[in-house]
Amino acid sequence: MRPSKRDELVRKVLPVFYRDGFHATGMDALVSETGISKTTMFKHFRTKDDLILAVLRHRDEIFRNWLFRRLDESGLPARERLLVLFDALKEWFSEPDFRGCMFIKASAEFQDPEHPAFVQSAEHKRLLLTALTRLCKEAQVRDPCQLARQLLILKEGAIVAAHMGFDPDPAGAARTAAECLIAAETAT
């Protein structure tokens, strides 16, 4: 099925916002980078904020699909899939266009908790937490909710460390910490 013009616009704009940020990227820059006219953009999106929200929703779908497909494709038991999370992050961090987490960036740029970009960013993290909690339950750990929260915090910290470049292997360090947390939650 051929993507709609709206979908094409979102797909083309996403890497520009990811690379340059939301506030720093004006409509003229988007036109220049994507080859899509302002008229077309405003035909599909009433405001720049509407476009940003669509980009965040698209990125959420792409990221979660990629991450959980990667975990599922490992074919490992649930406890080991919890660690595959950090192997997947290591792969992502090594991509040449890695620029950190779009949702962390959006929540920093749109700090009002009522702003739709902030709300969407928080929703992305909530959805990740829900999926990790399910996986922790499948792994039959003592406190799946707590372990899922801890793993999400490790994941987020690894992303920030990778983006800022102050650790040579943030995914590996987070994985090692996760191994300790998982072992503590499964010890009898």
pLDDT of 2 reads: 66
**Residue 31, domain member (yes or no):** no
pLDDT tens track, the chain, 188 positions: 666 889 999 999 999 999 999 999 999 999 999 898 889 999 999 999 999 999 999 999 999 999 999 999 999 999 999 999 999 999 999 999 999 999 999 999 999 999 999 999 999 999 999 999 999 999 999 999 999 999 999 999 999 999 999 999 999 999 999 999 999 998 76
Dihedral pair phi/psi, residue 4, rounded to 5°: -70, 165
What's the domain count of the chain?
1
**Residue 170, domain member (yes or no):** yes
pLDDT of 146 reads: 98
pLDDT of 188 reads: 64
Which CATH number belongs to the domain containing residue 65 in this structure?
Answer: 1.10.357.10
**Residue 27, domain member (yes or no):** no
Q: Are 88 and 73 in contact (CB under 8 A)?
A: no
The H or E element spanning position 74 is: none
Give the integer Cα–Cα distance in Å for 76 and 74.
5
In the chain, how long is the greatest CA-to-CA distance?
63
The three-state secondary structure class of 170 is helix
Q: Which residue in 110, 136, 123 sits closest to 52, CA to CA?
A: 110
**Residue 133, domain member (yes or no):** yes
**Residue 64, domain member (yes or no):** yes
**Residue 21, domain member (yes or no):** no
pLDDT of 1 reads: 60
| Dihedral of alpha carbons 23, 24, 26, 31, sign | negative
pLDDT of 171 reads: 98
**Residue 38, domain member (yes or no):** no
Helix and strand numbers (H, E) in the chain are 9, 0
Give the domain extent around 169: 47-186
**Residue 169, domain member (yes or no):** yes
* Residue whose structure tokens are 């792409």: 62
